[in-house]
Amino acid sequence: MTKTTAKTTKSKNVATTRIVREAIIPEDYQPISMWGYFGYQFLFALPVIGWVLCIGFALMAHNHNLRNFARSQFCYLIIYIVIFCLLAGFGVLQTILQSLGMI
């Protein structure tokens, strides 16, 4: 039998990489473009409508990348709501709004 050398192992890795790059990706796993991420982030930042769409995409999107991105944005939304409630509960929010002249 022949010995496996580093050179043949390296060529096997290159060949494997080429096969992966040329593989057809199913529609459910198609990557989102940079502008797609930008647009979805802008959409999810809209009050109420964006939040509802974020929840909808997080639960029902067919594309796994879009679903995971929507879930991450939904987690940020939950964190912001929790922080807002804590600040409001401790009275810090009222103090901040008074110092800004909003109340």
97's enclosing H/E stretch is helix 92-99
Structure tokens at 92: 């810090």
Instruction: State whether residue 20 is helix, strand or coil.
Output: helix
Report pLDDT digits (tens) over 1-32. 555 554 555 555 555 555 556 678 888 888 99
pLDDT band at 96, cuts 50/70/90?
confident
Does residue 37 surpass a pLDDT of 90?
Answer: yes
Terminal-residue alpha carbon distance, the chain: 84
> Residue 20: what pLDDT?
56
Summarised one tens digit per residue, pLDDT across range 55-84 is 999 999 999 999 999 999 999 999 999 999
Q: What global pTM score does this model have?
A: 0.67
Alpha helices in 23-91 (DSSP H): 34-44, 49-60, 64-90
Q: Which residues contact 31 (CB under 8 A, 6 or more apart)?
A: 25, 65
